[in-house]
Structure 1
Amino acid sequence: MSLIPPVIIPAAVKHTATIFFLHGLGDTGHGWASDLADIKPPHAKLICPTAPEAPVTINMGFEMPSWFDIRSLDKNDGNEDEQGVKNASQDIVKMIDDEIKAGIPADRILLGGFSQGAALSLYTGLTGPHSLAGLVILSGYLPVRKTISWDKINKPPVLQCHGDADTVVHYEVGVGTSKMLQELGKLPNFTFKTYENLQHSSSPREMRDVQNFIKEKLP
């Protein structure tokens, strides 16, 4: 797929780390850039890509920014856009490769996202070629999980956050994903945080937790 040029917030001092953050369905890179710019360390560059416009099955085929097609809201029915997820993941890996070629090592690159962007970030962070500094998964889930070879995954530090009032990616889906990551993935550095009464959005408390995670993983 052809990505629209990303929103880039440069480092304020010497650039020694990079944060990628992927938006949710129908959003753009601008949707998260300003909030994340407020909490990123000064030595980190922030890159917020925008997904290309594509038809989305659950939205009656209307085109909107989408990392891959979503055919159902039931994450257990197996009707997922496997090739779309893999193609989008390869695009994100290429962007990470560009940062590595520019001199930022993989262990100084953090990948995160919200909702569909969180799903793509989690899949890419676990199955991609690089072991990253960390993953930030907000209101997300793990797509095409049945295709994952759990004995071959990367095991980066993960912060997974989910509101218990989420009616889009249900809280139970987030909890199920966290159990899978701990039981099948055996991730040694994994944190799951619940936010009471938070719907499919973010909150100041969640953003403080994200900020602290970034500070810890990209000192």
Structure 2
Amino acid sequence: MGENRTILGINKFEKSLILVICTILGAIIGWYLPVIADWVLKLPIIPMEQWVRFISSLDHFWVSVIAAAVGIIAGLIFSLVVFHESLTVTVSDHQLELVLGDEVKTFKREDIYAVYMENKNLVVLGQDSQELYREVLEAKLDTVRQAFYLHGYPWMDEDPFADHYQRWVEGHPDFPPPVNALMRARERALKEDKKTAKYLREELAELGVVIRDERNGQFARKGGMD
């Protein structure tokens, strides 16, 4: 008999809706491609002019048919990419499984100190208050809360260590040089490359530093608090 579990993430209805909308949009854009090409040719500056003129010169009906078919396929592919890059969370009585793309992470329930939502991010803290996981979860807050309550996880309505954060400044005396260097790099990355900022957050988490981003800067705390 299988273990009781709850799955969180994009549900079947939402997946169907995304699939339908993306394929319809792809088909519409493809069907009206000749009209779009004719309109673009009237602009004073034409991007990729040779290609636009080539499309406009072809038989509009068959261009529409072929482009609509290509648009449908593109919509399907885009939908599959969205599904693949969306977080799926499986909550059971004994463990928490998080799947994002090809990455799978698993945590035992007894190793988790707290679970909460911060904005749209699901945050998992370990027994030493360290951040084990943080990622955007497309699910309603009440649904997420009920799932974790149902399986006996230590759900929190907010960060239990919210009062322990300090605003980070260059050369912060409470953090060692390697941490300050990563924080400095992340400060730059927040303005230039969000993906790099995410990776730097994960590196800092491995060093026991938990980050909270505010409009006026980075706030940080050290793990291992009781």
User: If the TM-score is normalised by the length of the shorter chain, which range does it land in?
Assistant: under 0.3
Q: TM-score, normalised by structure 1?
A: 0.27
Which is higher, the Rg of structure 1 or of structure 2?
2
Q: TM-score, normalised by structure 2?
A: 0.27
The structure where helix makes up a greater share of residues is: 2
